[in-house]
């Protein structure tokens, strides 16, 4: 699995999203993903599937040190005391001694970011959390999290696909060496019917979904965590490392969101 490096940390650039999967469906999906070579797994307290993810990891022969496992604090658990207690419960459900990445799932006005970040820093000191980050944060929110933390903010996980404009956020992430992790990178299946993506894909014998993922992964400091439950879809999503889009093709995909050439240059680090 290829990786993207931010702040000296190597993160598998493509992971498995598990939102809206529970129980045996989730467990089977994670086991299948591990069999195929996925090493980046994303879960959350809100998804109610941490136990299923943990069971799949426990029963698979893959070395835990080879995995990058992310979970997220539910917005209702963002006070320092609740954050600590809920994270301990997450570890129990995951049957794990640590997670690689712990995120604030979404900001809330009633929970000051600095207090939650402080509690997450304490978990890092206890070595039950290796890295911390945020999700669904704006540029201003991400800046506040960075300023509040004693350790680097590794990522901001946000919705990002060919129909969303994250230019300002990605520019800030590049400037501050923060990973932008794209959830719903296939726009909940919408990209599969996109004629522009299909036309590009025909040149490489790739599907529109593979083109959308390749477009994301060619951008500076971007990783993606597409959700998939079937083996075929997981394998398709993983099969995006044997071709490369040209600058013109990258620009064409950016234009689906009204992009401009400077977005292309920024995303490619040119």
The residues that are catalytic are 47
What is the token pair recorded at 96? Answer: 């794990």
Instruction: Tell me which residue has tokens 């959308």.
Output: 212
User: Other C-beta atoms within 10 Å of 51: how many?
Assistant: 18
What's the CA gap between 22 and 56, in Å, rounded? 12
Nearby residues of 169 by Cβ (< 8 Å), 6 or more positions away? 138, 139, 142, 156, 158, 180
What is the token pair recorded at 200? Answer: 């590009």
Backbone angles phi, psi at 259, to 5 degrees: -70, 160
What is the token pair recorded at 214? Answer: 């390749």
The continuous run of DSSP H or E covering 211 comes out as helix 208-217
The continuous run of DSSP H or E covering 157 comes out as strand 153-159
| 107 close to 136: Cβ distance less than 8 angstroms | yes
User: Other C-beta atoms within 10 Å of 22: how many?
Assistant: 13
Query: What does the angle CA 137 – CA 147 – CA 41 come to, to the nearest 5 degrees?
Result: 45
End-to-end C-alpha distance for the chain, whole angstroms: 25
């Amino acid at each position: 699995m290829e990786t993207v490096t931010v702040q000296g940390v190597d993160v598998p650039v493509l992971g498995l999203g598990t939102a809206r999967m529970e129980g045996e469906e989730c467990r089977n999906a994670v086991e299948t993903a591990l069999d195929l070579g996925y090493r980046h797994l994303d879960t959350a307290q809100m998804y109610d599937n941490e136990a299923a993810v943990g069971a799949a990891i426990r029963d698979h022969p893959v070395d835990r040190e080879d995995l990058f496992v992310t979970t997220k604090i539910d917005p209702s658990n963002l006070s320092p005391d609740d954050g600590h207690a809920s994270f301990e419960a997450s570890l129990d459900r995951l049957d794990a001694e640590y997670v690689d990445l712990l995120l604030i799932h979404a900001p809330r006005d009633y929970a000051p970011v600095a207090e939650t970040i402080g509690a997450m820093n304490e978990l890092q000191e206890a070595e039950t959390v290796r890295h911390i980050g945020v999700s669904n944060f704006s540029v201003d929110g991400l800046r506040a999290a960075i300023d509040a933390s004693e350790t680097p903010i590794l990522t901001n996980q946000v919705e990002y696909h060919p129909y969303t404009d994250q230019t300002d956020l990605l520019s800030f992430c590049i400037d501050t060496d923060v990973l932008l992790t794209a959830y719903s990178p296939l726009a909940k299946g919408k990209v599969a019917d996109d004629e522009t993506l299909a036309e590009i894909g025909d040149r490489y014998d790739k599907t529109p979904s593979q083109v959308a993922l390749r477009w994301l992964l060619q951008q500076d400091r971007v990783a993606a965590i597409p959700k998939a439950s079937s083996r075929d879809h997981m394998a398709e999503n993983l099969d995006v490392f044997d071709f490369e889009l040209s600058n013109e093709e990258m620009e064409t995909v950016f234009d689906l969101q009204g992009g401009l050439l400077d977005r292309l240059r920024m995303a490619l680090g040119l």
